[in-house]
Chains A and B, each alone.
Chain A
Amino acid sequence: MTAQTVTRSEENAPISKVLVIGAGIAGMQAALDVANAGYSVLLVDRLPSIGGHMAQLSETFPTLDCAQCILTPRTVEVGHHDNIQLMTYSEVESVEGKLGNFRVVVRRDPAYVDWDVCTGCGACTEKCPKRVISAQFEVSMGRRKAIYTLSPQAVPNKPVIDVGNCIWFQRGKCRVCEKVCPTGAINYDQEAYTLEERVGAIIVATGYDLYPVVNLGEYGGDQVPDVIDGLAFERLLSSSGPTAGKVRRPSDGKEPKEVVFVQCAGSRDPELHMPYCSKICCMYTAKHAMLYKHRVHDGQAYVFYIDIRSAGKRYEEFVQRAMEEDDTLYLRGKVSKIFRDGDKTVVWGTDTLIGQNIEIAADLVVLATAMVPRLEGKLVAQMLDLPTDENGWILPAEDNIQPVETRWPGIFLAGAASGPKDIPETVAQASGAAGKVLSLFARWGREQEREGQLQTSPEAERLAYA
């Protein structure tokens, strides 16, 4: 690998500032590590607020910590950190340059709300007459307004207007949010703007998405209302979610008494879908089954699995607990077909341990759909000229011993952008990427200090501590 050094002249001094792309748990962790060491961070996220997928989760395995409770202190810290320049609702448009001196252009989309003036009181959202299904954050399990924040705990807690659903933008009437805003923050004429920044290093933390259910024709292809994916079930379980933590199925709002969980939905299926193991599904399915039982005591959870991959500290014990303490019925076999029959959702599967086909007339089916790279992640990879594997995951410089480095010095990877990872692994990797960045910054600082001592110019001294 190329040595991570740069030649330096007065105008070409390396910049001890990092761009972090993506503000999920990976990007936040990396940003905090760098910022807490005293260096500047530019943290960019496409969504209006930070937290990524973790903000959607109910509880985390294997401790059953409330996800929101362990996440919120971090989102708040990121939001208030003096060294973190946070740009949400923004996307990186271009990157030029190399290690020590990248020129990046970030586009900030119009929120149609002046966030400098907005106090986050929520009056606009409350009075907005337009209610739409929240496909993104609530995974269609709940609704939001046309002017909205992703969640009550959003950081920044400032709303954006969804132009496609806003009555004013679509039909030229309404302006209710403008009327009720006590600080006059609504600005329908706001435009996107771009910002140019210079940074010395980049951390890519673009994360993952779930494989769309519509691609799983054998499981109803998103046409069966009571077949949902894992993130949708997280929203049903979440106490701050659309059902306030009560398990209610989408079709008629009834409490499901029999729930079938299907592992490897789209994973480990080279013929039709993704060939790889998505790594987190065995664990979160066990968690789902457990949490379901904690909420619906007379309910029965079934899990179809190929095999259980619970490699991790206290992971196997966690799965055993789901089986033994919460009576989850684990069936070893794949599900061949899911369809609706009356108000039931029928699951055809097989139990390979007894060699019999099984039919379950379920009330709700939860698919543990495969983790796939985000489209935005692939675009970022293209922009940075980072190679991806055949499934779109960004390739590290070396899979075994350089998991956070990339082919380009100064560009690092954190979290699921490079492949399926659970939260502990993501956080560890994010800190690893931050450590790599910090070691660069520390060296540049030392080198500048040394040069400064040689030249003893006040300008060089200032640079050394910049």
Chain B
Amino acid sequence: MKIPYFPGCTLSTTARGFDNAVRASAMTLGVELVELPEWNCCGATFPLLVDNAIDLIGPAEVLYKASQEGQQLATACTTCYNVVKRTNRTLKEDGDMLDKVNYFLEHDSDYEGSVEVLDVVQILRDEVGWDEVREAVKKPLDGLKVAAYYGCMVVRPPDEVAYDDPDDPTSLDDMLSALGGQRVAWPHKTECCGAYLAVKSPEVTREMSYAVLSSAIRNGAELIVANCPLCQFNLDRQQQTMSQRYAGYEPIPVLYYAQLLGLALGLDGSGYDLDKTTVDARPLLGRVGLL
């Protein structure tokens, strides 16, 4: 199947490895992510103002472009997913807002709120299925203990974005099980990493990320996988200074689920930017035979 795909800014720049891995993995599993011919930034935060028309223009433009290509839109960046999904809902439910936004969009035709926004994980779960994924695995994870980290973007607000149990999501865990990994039960799987506070109050983000990381480690994880570029960045990069701040802290690698998926499917990981993380996952991946 082919699905229009919106990579977003981060997956075109710092998270290039995620983009490469997700496209190649999906393709191997029979899902072709077709990049929108022209696209713009989604805005990166969903506006909470009452009169938020102008902030909805960016994501609405993405939705309009998608509507010219098909009925669905796939995203891999969960921030894009969250923003575009919520914008779509607003436009669907608020006719006045839809009119206003269409007025600003200045296209020949109007956007009608018809596109369904999907996270790639959701597509793999519902369109491919974990059993299919299991059968496609070439290099099983060999019992690697992987903590699946969901963050905020695919679970909150639940009625607007969640495609999984918002209190105890399992889609990534199910994927990891299909890949031959061992799931880790841990309480911080949907706790916030600190997000944008990394810019304004880095110490707050460091503490929040530390809570997430140390919880994964305490519960036996050897590796963490994330679905969100900002989560991956915070959890990985904050570890630069963690051993100095927290006595006895042992770093843990943080990857995107797609990187692990691609490697387990036996794909060439040279475009996955595995050399760009602060905590190098390659020794661990080598040990279980993925590299």
- A interface residues (Cβ-Cβ under 8 A, vs B): 217-218, 221, 337, 339, 341, 346
Chain B 66-95 near chain A by CB (<8 Å), digits 1 or 0: 000000000000000000000000000000
In whole angstroms, how far apart are the Cα atoms of A63 and B165 in the complex?
A: 43
Determine if B167 and A218 form an interchain contact, defined as CB atoms under 8 angstroms apart: yes
- Judge whether A217 and B187 touch: CB under 8 Å: no
Inter-subunit contact B166/A341 (CB<8 Å): no
Q: How far is the CB of B204 from chain A (nearest CB, A)?
A: 13
| B187 engages A341 (CB within 8 Å) | yes
Cα separation A373 to B165 with both chains bound (whole Å): 26
List, sorted by A's number, 6 A–B pairs whose CB atoms are closer than 8 Å. Answer: A217-B167, A221-B168, A337-B187, A339-B187, A341-B187, A346-B187
Chain B interface extent, by class = under 10
Q: Determine the chain B residues whose CB is within 8 A of the CB of A346 once the complex forms.
A: 187
| B158 to A, closest residue via Cβ | A272
CA distance A341 to B166 in the complex (A): 20
List A contacts of B166 (CB < 8 A): 217
Binding site for A on B (CB under 8 A): 165-168, 187
Q: Which residues of A contact B167 (CB under 8 A)?
A: 217-218, 221
Query: Which residue of chain B is the closest to A337 with respect to CB atoms?
Result: B187
Which residues of B are found within 8 Å of A339, using beta-carbon distances?
A: 187
Please measure, in the bound complex, the distance between the C-alpha atom of A217 and the C-alpha atom of B165, giving whole angstroms.
8
Least CB separation from A272: chain B residue: B158
- The closest CB in chain B to the CB of A348 belongs to B187
Q: How far is the CA of A339 from the CA of B218 in the complex (A)?
A: 14
**Whole-angstrom CA separation of A346 from B219 in the bound complex:** 14
New A-B pairs, 9, CB < 8 Å, besides A217-B165, A221-B167: A217-B166, A217-B167, A217-B168, A218-B167, A221-B168, A337-B187, A339-B187, A341-B187, A346-B187
A337 to chain B: which residues have CB within 8 Å? Answer: 187
Q: Which residue of A lies closest to B157 (CB)?
A: A271
- How far apart sit A221 and B168, CA to CA, in the bound complex (Å)? 9
Query: Which A residues are CB-close (under 8 A) to B168?
Result: 217, 221
Q: Which residues of B contact A218 (CB under 8 A)?
A: 167
Residues of B contacting A217 in the complex (Cβ-Cβ under 8 angstroms) = 165-168
Q: How far apart sit A346 and B167, CA to CA, in the bound complex (Å)?
A: 15
- 4 tightest Cβ-Cβ pairs between the two chains A and B: A217-B167, A339-B187, A218-B167, A217-B168
B163 to chain A, nearest CB (A): 15
The complex places the Cα of A218 from the Cα of B167 at a distance, in Å, of 6
Bound complex: CA A346 to CA B187 (Å): 10
Compute how far the CA of A221 lies from the CA of B187 in the bound complex, rounded to whole angstroms: 13
A338 (CB) vs chain B CBs: closest residue: B187
Q: How far, in angstroms, from A217 to B166 measured CA to CA in the complex?
A: 8
* Chain A min CB distance to B186 (Å): 9
Q: Which residue of A lies closest to B187 (CB)?
A: A339
> Nearest Cβ in chain A — how far from B192, in angstroms?
12
Question: Could you tell me the distance in whole angstroms from the C-beta of A140 to the nearest C-beta in chain B?
Answer: 21
